[in-house]
Amino acid sequence: MLYWALVFFIISVIAGLLGFSGVAVASATIAKVFFVLFLFIFLLLLLAIGLLRKD
């Protein structure tokens, strides 16, 4: 998931440099969504592992 966020971020930077503002905005939005989704899943798994771990 983090890989795809990075890919779309790079696409948005390249598109922005080339002047394709619509593509740059769309790619940046997709990258943000993937990054937030990655963080949510990561935190959810950390919480689940913490609850399931018995010391």
The position carrying tokens 């943000």 is 32
| The total number of structural domains that make up the chain | 1
Task: Please give the pLDDT value at position 21.
Answer: 84
The pTM for the full model equals 0.72
Do 39 and 3 contact (CB within 8 A), yes or no?
no
Look at residue 49 and tell me whether its pLDDT is greater than 70. yes
Cβ-count burial 19-49 (b if 16+ within 10 Å, e if not): eeeeebeebbebbeebbeeeeeeeeeeeeee
Task: Please give the pLDDT value at position 16.
Answer: 87
For 3-36, how does the pLDDT look when each residue is reduced to its tens digit (9 = 90+)?
Answer: 888 888 898 889 888 888 888 889 889 999 999 9
Angle, CA 17 vertex, CA 28 and CA 15 arms, to 5°: 45
- Residue 26, domain extent: 2-52
